[in-house]
Chains A and B, each alone.
Chain A
């Protein structure tokens, strides 16, 4: 499997560190589409937009931003990172992403997740008590829609479908559906059982954080009869590619720390991240993807060796990093990091075969 490298964003709004001003949703969506364009131009494989339902994020409707990105790009794959499927209607999700697929000539995909934020549940009238049942049922429906049309289906959380004609069909005949997994053993087991590709979300912590997640996923896939080695795994983590390792850390830290304090909270209380803690997160044994191009190459290969991941999606610029710095990192990722990692992984896998 060819190694894929991509970027993702939540389109967060974080106060300017000097003026204290919040960027407008307009500014942020324009920046987001430009990031997708540059990512496409430098040959990156994937562009992702996450879903959050709060005014400190613009990305409540990733499908619309991805559709806009589709119009400005030629080759890059467009994914939700993630679609909070538990509080969505899978029929509508399918319609939107199949439309993006048609629009982009077959470049759309879905990463379905439970979401780490819970705002969408009350917003769309769902009960958090049903957290597990909602995701299981809605994922089932989404996969059935992908399998066949028209579809007859019945569940607990939406009206039954009787020979329902759900359109359009995707440009390439099918839509990739990944499952976003944060590390709970039950998610890994359930995803493996379904034989679906798994996108591992890692915020902070050691690079080995997901070792058990991956083991459980592979064991469960094997038990269910899915060829575990053909199931792609992606690592989705924060990071930044600088001209030098030191520059990358110095540049990323203040914005990332501010984003953690302002945007990464559920109950109004931020997450203070000291420079000392951040520097520890950027050592070779940690999961954060920050450093020089060479450091990033080394860490992505370390991820590949550890978990057999075939894809890395890096969330760069989190916390209001200026667009210029963000775009420079996208360019380095596409031109200096990705080609080396793709080539190196291909040769390692060739040797192993």
Chain B
């Protein structure tokens, strides 16, 4: 966790009917909080996704990347740990961009991470947008702030984006079934695409995977 990259392998149920390729999912988390609703929302997305196809997940907490990240203005300035985190995001099969809303938009450090990402690394890469905010007044941050950012990268941004407000959570546990429903709907729109984009191998899905299907 000190490097800011947590490799929490969610070993998917050996999903029926898939060709055995594993979708490598990377969450870029813009929340500074240890107990984070944004991570709570992203985890529901991962859990839902993991029911449909085998996934391997990692998370980059931009607020934990440290001075090697915050002090870097160019890609060449970053420390090797930060370089590894950037490459992790750049090489994902699916990127989940998950952030709280600060002052009407994503936090500066979240943007700073993407300022260091290679200009073409996300081109045609599936990107899923998720955000949390105090109230639903901020929900359009998905469409008015996050979507244009990934439009710059020419990313393949998934049509349905996910938003939850503070009242949808008990602590960091997402309770509102309407949000769960939206996540299922949004993922089912693109599930065939994501299956086709899976490039990970069972063996590469982390040491903790059991039988490899």
Contacts A216-B176, A219-B177: A186 and B170 contacting too (C-beta < 8 A)?
A: yes
B171 adjacent to A185 (CB under 8 Å):
no
- CB neighbors of B among A92-137 (8 A): 129, 131-133, 136
Q: How far is the CA of A97 from the CA of B114 in the complex (A)?
A: 56
Q: How far is the CA of A129 from the CA of B171 in the complex (A)?
A: 9
- CB neighbors of A among B131-168 (8 A): 166-168
A189 adjacent to B35 (CB under 8 Å):
no
Distance between A266 CB and nearest chain B CB, rounded to angstroms: 14
Contacts of A136 in B (CB 8 A): 170-171
B169 interface hit (Cβ, 8 Å) = yes
A189 adjacent to B167 (CB under 8 Å):
no
Contacts of A189 in B (CB 8 A): 170, 175-177
Which residue of the partner chain B has the closest CB to A213?
Answer: B167
B178 interface hit (Cβ, 8 Å) = yes
* Interface SS of chain B: mixed
A186 adjacent to B35 (CB under 8 Å):
no
A184 adjacent to B177 (CB under 8 Å):
no
Which residue of the partner chain B has the closest CB to A136?
Answer: B170
- CB neighbors of B among A120-157 (8 A): 129, 131-133, 136
Q: How far is the CA of A219 from the CA of B176 in the complex (A)?
A: 11
Contacts of B35 in A (CB 8 A): 129
- CB neighbors of B among A185-218 (8 A): 185-187, 189-190, 212, 216
B167 adjacent to A184 (CB under 8 Å):
yes
Distance between B92 CB and nearest chain A CB, rounded to angstroms: 30
B167 adjacent to A186 (CB under 8 Å):
yes
**Most central of B35, B166, B169, B171 by chain A CB within 10 Å:** B171
Contacts A132-B170, A136-B170: A186 and B175 contacting too (C-beta < 8 A)?
A: yes
Q: Contact string, A218-242, partner B, CB cutoff 8 A, digits 1/0?
A: 0110000000000000000000000
A254 interface hit (Cβ, 8 Å) = no
Total A-B residue pairs with C-beta atoms closer than 8 Å? 40
A25 interface hit (Cβ, 8 Å) = no
Q: How far is the CA of A131 from the CA of B173 in the complex (A)?
A: 13
B171 adjacent to A132 (CB under 8 Å):
yes
Contacts of B173 in A (CB 8 A): 132, 186
For chain B, the bracket of interface size reads: 10 to 19
Which listed residue (B169, B171, B177) contacts A216, Cβ 8 A?
Answer: B177
Q: How far is the CA of A184 from the CA of B175 in the complex (A)?
A: 10
Q: How far is the CA of A183 from the CA of B178 in the complex (A)?
A: 14
Distance between B30 CB and nearest chain A CB, rounded to angstroms: 19
Which listed residue (A129, A190, A216, A219) contacts B170, Cβ 8 A?
Answer: A190
Contacts of B170 in A (CB 8 A): 132, 136, 186-187, 189-190
Distance between B172 CB and nearest chain A CB, rounded to angstroms: 8
Distance between A7 CB and nearest chain B CB, rounded to angstroms: 28
Contacts of B169 in A (CB 8 A): 132, 186
Q: How far is the CA of A123 from the CA of B43 in the complex (A)?
A: 35
B176 adjacent to A187 (CB under 8 Å):
no
Q: How far is the CA of A146 from the CA of B96 in the complex (A)?
A: 45
Contacts of B166 in A (CB 8 A): 184
**Most central of B166, B169, B175, B177 by chain A CB within 10 Å:** B175
**Inter-chain pairs besides A186-B176, A189-B176, A190-B175, 16 sampled, C-beta below 8 Å:** A132-B169, A132-B171, A136-B170, A183-B167, A184-B166, A185-B176, A186-B168, A186-B169, A186-B174, A186-B175, A187-B170, A189-B170, A189-B177, A190-B170, A216-B176, A220-B177
Chain A residues packing against B (C-beta within 8 Å):
129, 131-133, 136, 183-187, 189-190, 212, 216, 219-220
Chain B residues packing against A (C-beta within 8 Å):
35, 166-171, 173-178
Q: List 29 A-B contacts (CB under 8 A).
A: A132-B170, A132-B173, A133-B171, A136-B170, A183-B167, A184-B168, A185-B167, A185-B168, A185-B175, A185-B176, A185-B178, A186-B167, A186-B169, A186-B173, A186-B174, A186-B176, A187-B167, A187-B170, A189-B170, A189-B175, A189-B176, A189-B177, A190-B170, A190-B175, A212-B178, A216-B176, A216-B177, A216-B178, A219-B177
Task: Give 6 nearest A-B pairs by CB, closest first.
Answer: A184-B167, A132-B171, A185-B176, A186-B175, A189-B175, A186-B170
